[in-house]
């Protein structure tokens, strides 16, 4: 048993280093190749230990905790071991003789990894002062105006308006995951890690300027709702027929749209609801801020923009000039200009156009423009998917007695969305990152707050890099998460395989 495990580990190790470094020269026999690896590994480890001691001594001279110092030293030591291992194997195996480009690329890549870990790790773990993030965590999440009610007793606390949408989103997340994952571990493990990070972000007593107990209770309840909704839906989907599972997915889509509009209603109820006494006067959109605004704008671009794209895509394919020419004009006009230009148009011109009908502030105007901008780009992608729908499906639908509208909604549109899903997700990721442009209009979104955060407190003057790096990490995390979700859906639809797009 042990011999088989050692033999398997040996083959796996050789397979790994050949993929990293390349195949050795022809004169290197398999046995000599294995002995070279046994010599190189101890030498690399010794050099790594020397770098570990040297790095720890250097990092300890800075004002940082011992845990961060040793963690940084271990990272640098591991990167050093990797570089030494790559360089020595390339030389001793003669890889540079037969595969010069691969050998050079391996050495350069390993050195870049070492430099990146050394420089960025030193700043993140040793040099940076992350107290600015902990001291302004509420401001970064919900904005400055909503934070006043949480941190000051003489200002009305309106942050409670965010919790109903949080609970609704929690239920939607748990239910939607239950209809897509094959194994419950695919959800429970990453979501549990995410839950612990969220709870730690709220609980951490470092520079806390609010009462964390209430927020912890509410956040824990919301996370438990996600677990419960996932468990119930997952159990139902395991025994239900496929058409019933698809019906649940359609309900999730409808619930997501309703949640988006209810979020706006909770924050800023319409005047008629306030006059009837159903809800008190809320928080105007110009007082919204932080990461919440970026999430709201990106969701608006996905929800409203998707419906706009459906109308424009079918309108452009229509044979009636009444639908075709306006759709073509809107798509080409919007796509011909950058998003920044349209945001300034929304800020200066749209109020005069829609003022007799609706009084919209900067945030609502931004939502409309970003939704229209994303909708026009998605319309062209969706139009390409509609053109790729086989004519036989349309003829079969008409033969079954479906009306033209039913054929478009139940046959053409699902097939087009299925084939264009990767491109659509790419547009969503682009719109998520483009929400940072709203700071040009004076909207204090997550990026705008990160830029000015160092100027708001004398204690953190000059700490400009930490908030910007933190903001960049959050934007990257959400974009990466969306890409992984897209890959999961593609795999479930069979699009990950060669020729998978031809399946229906």
What are the tens digits of pLDDT across the range 321-366? Answer: 888 898 999 999 998 888 888 888 877 776 666 666 666 667 777 8
Give the three-class secondary structure for 324: helix
Integer Rg of the chain from CA: 28
Polymer length in residues for the chain? 504
Report pLDDT digits (tens) over 33-72: 667 777 888 898 999 999 999 999 988 888 788 888 999 9
Q: Which residue has the higher pLDDT, 232 or 279?
A: 232
Geometric angle at alpha carbon 89, from 83 and 95, rounded to 5°: 120
**Do 189 and 296 sit in the same domain of this protein?**
no
| Cα torsion angle, 41, 42, 43, 46, sign | positive
**Do 275 and 294 sit in the same domain of this protein?**
no
Geometric angle at alpha carbon 34, from 33 and 36, rounded to 5°: 65
**Residue 360: both structure tokens together:** 């919209």
Question: pTM here?
Answer: 0.84
| Cα torsion angle, 378, 424, 472, 458, sign | positive
Please identify, among 239, 266, 282, the residue that sits at the C-terminal boundary of a domain: 282
Domain coverage including residue 175 = 159-282
- pLDDT reading at 96 higher than 90: no
pLDDT at residue 103, as a whole number: 76
**Do 96 and 245 sit in the same domain of this protein?**
no
The CATH number of the domain holding residue 314 is 1.10.3720.10
**Do 261 and 293 sit in the same domain of this protein?**
no
**Residues sharing a CB contact under 8 Å with residue 419, sequence separation 6 or more, in sequence order:** 385, 388, 495, 501
Q: What is the dihedral of CA 480, 485, 486, 491, to 10 degrees?
A: 130
- pLDDT reading at 312 higher than 80: yes
Q: Which of 12-16, 90-94, 126-130, 297-301 has the lowest mean pLDDT?
A: 12-16
**Do 271 and 298 sit in the same domain of this protein?**
no
pLDDT at residue 224, as a whole number: 96
Please state the rounded mean pLDDT for residues 247-276.
Answer: 87
pLDDT at residue 503, as a whole number: 46
**Do 306 and 271 sit in the same domain of this protein?**
no
Q: How many domains does the chain have?
A: 3
Average pLDDT of every residue of the chain: 83
H, E, C per residue of 354-416: HCCCCCCCHHHHHHHHHHHHHHHHHHHHHHHHHHCCCHHHHHHHHHCCCCHHHHHHHHHHHHH
**Do 327 and 446 sit in the same domain of this protein?**
yes
Q: How confident is the model at residue 487 (pLDDT cuts 50, 70, 90)?
A: confident
Quickly tell me which residue has 């097939």 as its tokens.
415
Asked if residue 138 is part of any domain, the answer here is: no
**Do 301 and 275 sit in the same domain of this protein?**
no
CA–CA separation, 350 and 499 (whole Å): 46
CA–CA separation, 287 and 444 (whole Å): 8
pLDDT at residue 28, as a whole number: 63
Asked if residue 134 is part of any domain, the answer here is: no
- Alpha-carbon distance values, 22 to 26, 86, 94 (Å): 12, 10, 10
Q: Which residue has the higher pLDDT, 149 or 332?
A: 332
Asked if residue 322 is part of any domain, the answer here is: yes
Strands (E), 242-371: none
Please state the rounded mean pLDDT for residues 190-219.
Answer: 90
- pLDDT reading at 304 higher than 70: yes
User: How many other C-beta atoms lie within 10 A of the C-beta of residue 350?
Assistant: 18
Burial class (CB in 10 A: 0-12, 13-18, 19+), 373: buried
Among 398, 405, 219, smallest CA distance to 314 is for 405
Q: Which residue has the higher pLDDT, 115 or 38?
A: 115
**Do 216 and 98 sit in the same domain of this protein?**
no
Q: What are phi and psi of 137, to 5 degrees?
A: -65, -40
- pLDDT reading at 500 higher than 50: no
pLDDT at residue 493, as a whole number: 65
**Do 458 and 348 sit in the same domain of this protein?**
yes
**Do 72 and 176 sit in the same domain of this protein?**
no
């Amino acid at each position: 048993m042990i011999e088989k495990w050692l033999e398997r580990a040996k083959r796996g190790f050789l397979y790994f280093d050949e993929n990293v470094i390349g195949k050795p020269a022809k004169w290197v026999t398999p046995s000599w190749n294995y002995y070279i690896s046994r010599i190189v590994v101890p030498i690399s480890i010794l050099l790594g230990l020397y770098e570990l001691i040297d790095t720890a001594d250097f990092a300890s001279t800075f004002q940082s905790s011992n845990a961060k110092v040793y963690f940084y030293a271990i990272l640098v030591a591991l990167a050093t071991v990797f570089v030494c291992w790559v360089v020595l194997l390339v030389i001793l195996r003669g890889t540079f003789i037969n595969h010069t480009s691969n050998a050079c690329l391996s050495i350069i890549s390993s050195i870049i990894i070492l430099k990146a870990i050394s420089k960025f790790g030193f700043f993140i773990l040793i040099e940076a002062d992350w107290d600015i993030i902990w001291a302004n965590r509420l401001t970064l999440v919900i904005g400055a105006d909503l934070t006043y009610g949480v941190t000051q007793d003489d200002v009305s606390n309106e942050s409670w308006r965010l919790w109903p949408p949080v609970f609704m989103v929690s239920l939607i997340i748990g239910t939607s995951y239950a209809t897509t994952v094959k194994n419950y571990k695919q959800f429970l493990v990453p979501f549990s890690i995410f839950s612990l990070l969220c709870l730690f972000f709220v609980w951490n007593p470092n520079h806390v300027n609010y009462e964390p107990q209430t927020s912890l209770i509410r956040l824990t309840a919301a996370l438990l709702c996600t677990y419960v909704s996932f468990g119930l839906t997952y159990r139902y989907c395991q025994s239900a027929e496929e058409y019933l599972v698809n019906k649940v997915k359609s309900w999730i889509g409808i619930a997501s749209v309703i949640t988006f509009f209810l979020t706006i209603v909770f924050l800023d109820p319409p005047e008629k609801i306030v006059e009837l006494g159903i809800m008190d006067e809320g928080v105007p959109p110009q007082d919204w801020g932080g990461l919440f605004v970026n999430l709201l704008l990106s969701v608006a671009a996905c929800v409203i923009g998707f419906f706009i794209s459906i109308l424009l895509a079918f309108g452009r394919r229509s044979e009636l000039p009444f639908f075709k020419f306006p759709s073509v004009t809107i798509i080409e006009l919007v796509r011909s200009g950058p998003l920044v230009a349209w945001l300034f148009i929304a800020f200066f011109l749209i109020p005069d156009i829609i003022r007799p009908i609706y009084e919209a502030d900067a945030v609502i105007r931004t939502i409309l423009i970003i939704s229209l901008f994303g909708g026009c780009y998605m319309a062209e992608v969706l139009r390409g998917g509609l053109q790729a729908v086989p004519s036989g499906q349309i003829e079969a639908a008409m033969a079954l007695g479906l009306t033209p509208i039913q054929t478009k909604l139940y046959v053409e549109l699902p097939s087009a969305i299925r084939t264009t899903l990767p491109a659509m997700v790419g547009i969503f990721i682009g719109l998520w990152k483009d929400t940072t442009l709203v700071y040009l209009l004076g909207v204090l979104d997550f990026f705008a707050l990160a830029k000015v955060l160092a100027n708001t407190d004398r204690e953190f003057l000059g700490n400009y890099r930490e908030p910007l790096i933190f903001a960049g990490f959050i934007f990257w995390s959400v974009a990466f998460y969306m890409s992984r979700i897209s890959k999961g859906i593609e795999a479930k639809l069979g699009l990950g395989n060669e020729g998978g797009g031809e399946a229906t």
